[in-house]
Structure 1
Amino acid sequence: MTTTCIPIKNVGSDADSHRFPLDQWYVAGFSSELADKPIARTFLNRKVVLFRTGAGQVAALEDRCCHRSLPLSCGTVEGAGVRCGYHGLLYAPNGQCIEIPGQERIPSKARVKAYPVVEKNQIIWIWMARDEDAEPTRPAPDYPFHDDPRYKFGSGNYHYRSPWQLIHDNLLDLSHLGYVHLQTIGGDARLHMNAPMKVSSEGDRVKVVRLMPDSSPPPTYRAAWPFGEKCERWQEIEFDLTHLRIWTGAVEPGTDAIDDPDRGGFHMRGFHGITPETEETCHYFWSMSSTKHPDMPDNIDAVIQQTAFTFDEDRTIIEAQYRNMLAFGDKANWIDIHVDAGANRARRIVGELLRKQAAAEAADS
């Protein structure tokens, strides 16, 4: 059975991918997404088809048959690879054509580009290199909470009609929770805005920590954990170029300290893979891992449902923000306030990586 062939607009050549930081592991999806059909996605202006072979191997190829350029995502997955839906050419995970129906000889040039991919902690990572045939220079990131028996997780993905860094801005500044997410993870807006914020960085990473003692538990927390009138709440955000890890939660007053690395209580560990599609669109791959209270073992169902609802709210805000940026053009000058410290530091990191990349490309030319 063939898959639905979805055309993707605003996609340029490989040269266009150099507008984003390269030589990086980007999130391509979750293990659970790859079943018996190929998936078409565009990463950094490059059209890619993802699939899993009958032997269980995950592969990522240029989404183009070398014969007549039909997207391979319009074909079918078989035991040895993906078969083109036009004339039946079969491609192995390394991009080599291994069968041409009705023809014994297979030209050596009958191949397409293959991207390095790694399946790790139920996340699929794709290596986007500056030099076309370059191999990864480091292992894919770890995210152990998907495999940690203390947690149960759910996941999903969104397509955003906005640039990827607007989502970085949103996730690095959780002061918006009290205004955007009143019905779920919000809480008192003034408390969020006034909570002391500690911002640090090391290399290409940024960390933001906010501690909020004497908080009123928001609706999601009450649905998942038997809190009383007050709780001791924390937010820890770790920015990496291609993904963010956000650890939030709360303990009951008089129990564990909210800065104790081994604290108990209610935990929400969010994974946020932000992968550019084009300059104006991006993919958002999220998961939420949560602890379970012994008296409320099904809490994760409420957490996942409400987490997805909060991301709906965020997408509405961010896409409206970007539409307004386009409408106002140069008049849309921003001012900074105190909550922007983490996001601004992340933007400087991305900018510096792009400057270094442009200098390296100029030296090579």
Structure 2
Amino acid sequence: MSNYPKKCWYVAATSDEFGDAPLQRRLLDVDVVLWRAADGQPIAFENRCAHRAFPLSNGEIVGDLLVCGYHGCTYDRSGACVRIPSQPQVPAGMNVKAFHLVEEPPFVWIWLGPPGTSAGSRPPRSPWINQPGWSTFADAWGVAANYLMVHEHYLDFSYAPVVHRSDLPPGLDSMPAFNSVEVTETTVSYERILQELPLADWQSGATGLDGSIAYKHRESGTFVSPAMHRQHWNIEASDGTMYTTTRTHALTPESPNSTHVFMQSSRNYNLDDDQATKRLTSFLAEVAQRDKSVLEMAAGHSGYDGWRGGVEFQADAAALRARRIVAVMLSKEAGRSAIRPGLAPKSRADSLSP
């Protein structure tokens, strides 16, 4: 059974993945082909020709048309078949299913819910990715785990002194409790304020700050939607300057047991410093690999049902509220009356919140 809402925008790909050839990708357990028309418009079809279900991703793009690589059936951007080389007429109603896309670089978002239900809805925004005053680089990977496991992992971070011990500021042996957890009907945000600490090697190397001096540290994260998580790590210098490193994770279920992660890391310091970018790229790739290994080990051993059936900690407060938001979304999609996230009955999860 899937546990991802369909009436939600998810990232299908990054803008630069749309090239000269069709791109195949499985999204929410649907096989999709992505391509870009001659005028630059991104397009998404179900990845099966209407004739023999041949994968259209094995075809070619010809201007504003996608041509199947089996019999040459040719489709326009609406999904309608407009040409069949072996006969003069196209059978009435011959088309492939097309999906609504919105391109907001660096992401191309897809709506896989019922047609028309996306009206009035917009993908979440991450303004710092493209705004002046920020420098951003990207990475992407897959995780063989349910997408909510990935969300809940990122919303926890109390595991950091165990999983990422060498990457934390010296003297930080355990993550403090949340200073705040803020919940709306659709989002969850938390914040931790750490004691004054010197810098980890990656922090001093990327910022150029003296790593031996103690600084104020702040770590925060947000469940933006089932499709996005954001994390911020702030270092405050003695003069009040804030050095912010962010990770924006676009999370798209591939299937109930696998997830696409599209990451954008942004910073507001040393914007043109290639060495800082290389250091952060290498560092975050190692972090992502460790996170991936932990999640895949847990998923392979117990799956999401085993994961969510364990005893909860105080550090799980944000993750439990995100889980509740998703449950409400799924209930609404199923046509059941749903309790608003902030008005749910008292439960064991509520007793754990700070």
Q: TM-score with structure 1 length normalisation? A: 0.84
Q: CA distance change for structure 1 residues 330 and 126 in 2, over 3 Å: closer, same or farther?
A: closer
- Where in structure 2 are the equivalents of 1:150-169 lying within 5 Å? 150-169=133-152
Counterpart in the other structure of 2:196: 214
Q: CA distance change for structure 1 residues 227 and 178 in 2, over 3 Å: closer, same or farther?
A: farther
Cα pair 2:191 2:221 within 8 Å, conserved: yes
Cα pair 1:121 1:144 within 8 Å, conserved: no
- Give the C-alpha shift of residue 213 in structure 1: 3.6
Distance 1:216 1:317 in 2: 28
Question: Which one of the candidate residues 193, 216, 219 is aligned to 1:235?
Answer: 219
- Give the C-alpha shift of residue 135 in structure 1: 4.4
Corresponding residue pairs, total: 334
Distance 1:142 1:108 in 2: 41
Counterpart in the other structure of 1:307: 284
Do structure 1's residue 117 and structure 2's residue 94 form an aligned pair?
A: no
Question: Which one of the candidate residues 316, 331, 345 is aligned to 1:340?
Answer: 316
Structure 2 residues not aligned, in runs of 5+ = 338-354
Distance 1:329 1:140 in 2: 29
Task: Work out the percentage of aligned pairs sharing the same amino acid.
Answer: 27
Distance 2:270 2:104 in 1: 28
Distance 1:331 1:173 in 2: 13
Question: Which one of the candidate residues 96, 109, 112 is aligned to 2:80?
Answer: 96
- Give the C-alpha shift of residue 297 in structure 1: 5.6
Distance 2:118 2:158 in 1: 40
Could you give the per-residue CA deviations for residues 310-350 of structure 1, whole angstroms, max 9, x where no partner exists?
A: 11110001000112215x98699411111111001111111
Q: CA distance change for structure 1 residues 140 and 330 in 2, over 3 Å: closer, same or farther?
A: closer
Counterpart in the other structure of 1:248: 233
Question: Which one of the candidate residues 24, 41, 65 is aligned to 2:8?
Answer: 24
- Structure 1 counterpart of 2:153, one-letter code: N
Counterpart in the other structure of 2:350: none
- Give the C-alpha shift of residue 68 in structure 1: 0.7
Q: CA distance change for structure 1 residues 198 and 188 in 2, over 3 Å: closer, same or farther?
A: farther
Counterpart in the other structure of 2:163: 180
- Structure 1 counterpart of 2:144, one-letter code: R
SS in 2 for 1:159: strand
- Give the C-alpha shift of residue 63 in structure 1: 0.5
Cα pair 1:80 1:92 within 8 Å, conserved: yes
Distance 2:137 2:92 in 1: 43
Counterpart in the other structure of 1:34: 18
- Give the C-alpha shift of residue 161 in structure 1: 1.0
Question: Which one of the candidate residues 243, 256, 271 is aligned to 1:266?
Answer: 243
SS in 2 for 1:115: strand
Distance 1:332 1:31 in 2: 34
- Give the C-alpha shift of residue 160 in structure 1: 1.4
Cα pair 1:61 1:112 within 8 Å, conserved: yes
Counterpart in the other structure of 2:132: 149
SS in 2 for 1:217: coil
Distance 2:332 2:197 in 1: 44
SS in 2 for 1:194: coil
Distance 1:248 1:203 in 2: 25
- Structure 1 counterpart of 2:123, one-letter code: A
Cα pair 2:25 2:33 within 8 Å, conserved: yes
SS in 1 for 2:335: helix
Cα pair 2:24 2:57 within 8 Å, conserved: yes
Cα pair 1:37 1:77 within 8 Å, conserved: yes
Cα pair 1:127 1:136 within 8 Å, conserved: no
Distance 2:307 2:228 in 1: 31
- Structure 2 counterpart of 1:349, one-letter code: I
Distance 1:330 1:212 in 2: 32
SS in 2 for 1:116: strand
Could you give the per-residue CA deviations for residues 216-266 of structure 1, whole angstroms, max 9, x where no partner exists?
A: 3122212201222222211221112211122223122x222xxxxxxx432
Do structure 1's residue 202 and structure 2's residue 200 form an aligned pair?
A: no
Distance 2:281 2:106 in 1: 17
Task: Tell me which moved more, 66-75 or 230-239.
Answer: 230-239
- Give the C-alpha shift of residue 195 in structure 1: 4.5
Question: Which one of the candidate residues 257, 263, 267 is aligned to 1:280?
Answer: 257
Do structure 1's residue 127 and structure 2's residue 118 form an aligned pair?
A: no
Task: Tell me which moved more, 203-212 or 85-94.
Answer: 85-94
Cα pair 2:7 2:333 within 8 Å, conserved: no
Do structure 1's residue 290 and structure 2's residue 271 form an aligned pair?
A: no
- Give the C-alpha shift of residue 37 in structure 1: 1.8
Structure having greater relative contact order (Cα 8 Å, sep ≥ 6): 2
Q: CA distance change for structure 1 residues 169 and 98 in 2, over 3 Å: closer, same or farther?
A: same
SS in 2 for 1:277: strand
Cα pair 1:163 1:276 within 8 Å, conserved: yes
Distance 2:4 2:305 in 1: 22
Counterpart in the other structure of 2:331: 355
- Give the C-alpha shift of residue 188 in structure 1: 4.9
Distance 2:288 2:140 in 1: 10
Task: Tell me which moved more, 163-172 or 295-304.
Answer: 295-304
